[in-house]
Structure 1
């Protein structure tokens, strides 16, 4: 038809060697592909569309169909991944992080993905300079996104000027910090979905476990809230109880009552041995006790513990 646009069905059959029935079917197919259109000059006749226009439109339509099919493939792939994830129960597994570098790298990823809150318990004393340098930009970015940051630290961290300065920076930028004489365990909780706990509490540099089992994460969250409620907000003086004891003095009495030595008490409280002995001497005098053991007995009888 491009060569002889005015030929009718009989002429086209002669031109192509096809039967008139086959020519009619071919014309119907070409019309359905919009490669033939009604003639404006001759009623009942069809005119061929320029290949540049007609075939380009067909190619564009084919490309659109390919894109649609590709989108369906990607959607199916995503659905398969979701089904596989649910079947494999990844949230019931713990990820083992070997060494301090692996822990910090994972915390960086988790903190960048944090949407709601990041909670931490910090039983150590002064923060290492490299740890503060790594945490500061991540905390600043999270706070800008509206993430809530709450941290519980040991009271003795105030003895380190750099760590004290970091605490001031965090609270001035919208973070929250509380202190206690002793903190039970090192832990980081992210969005109540993941928890990072040490492999060996006595050696944080050994590595950690990332836990995502919902029951375990909820239990650790409850522990955090209990510890948080007992803490003293940063910037406030720890309150004394009705017996005139500070939280640190009560903690020292509890440690002593458990039979621990002054050296162990100093390590748990994060203070010097001299400080522990000075505090113990003051408590013994106030309790009218001649020994640490007697002080524990008198404290228990008087309801100081």
Structure 2
């Protein structure tokens, strides 16, 4: 923490912690405690002394004592905060210069072409880290990454994250249902569509990445980076249209509204059923048996007194069972818990 926040190297932080824990120490004695070469320890002590974190003992100039952490570290912390404040002002200034420059872009400069799957992944990761307000994502195969659907740290900063997943990707088990649960627990809003027209990644309504058709595993993969323009406006409108048409998706019973009393597994089966997945695909995603899925669907139909699945879907839509906001209820506790289907998998 000292090295991350206050700019100390790991060696400097460890040496200071050790010096704080003793009344005083010679360079040789401190080197033995830290497990470091004496000459290296002498250089580290010199840097700590220069930062005001260490001083020579008044009674013996060959020994060193630690400066009081409350005063010495607070001074460093204030200095770092001042540096961050100045950096933020510089960032705002650069952002204004950038926006002024983009307004003068010509037609050719509105769109950049990115080549290579590794470059695309790096660029997506970079603009995602820089997101301030919202990320919008249309997901379909092939994928450029098999990792998590989103960056939890981005959402923790207050960035809204909306994603529409093409139903066919669930049939292929990428992303997996566990990944969707993890993303929902982090605060991501997920909807499922029969199909999406293209892969799309939009950040803060300022930048969009449109991967081009082709194999994502080859160096020939490419993508378009679209800056603010009427083309970007059209892509944003496309996402909003797909978002409105897509099926709401929940992963816990607590996210259902006006629904009969069911558990998380029942809510997940209902949600996947309404996206159009087959019973077998649902069973595969939830790692349970086909018999369990079919029995649970029959129980849902009986609970609302309908005769078939079409009526169940109509009943669900009419009563607004899935018309909830972010599905936060009960998700955090499920991250490390086994899937609810595990207890019924053998049935």
- For normalisation by structure 1, the TM-score amounts to 0.46
Computing the radius of gyration over CA atoms, which structure comes out larger, 1 or 2?
1
Q: Which has the higher helix share?
A: 1
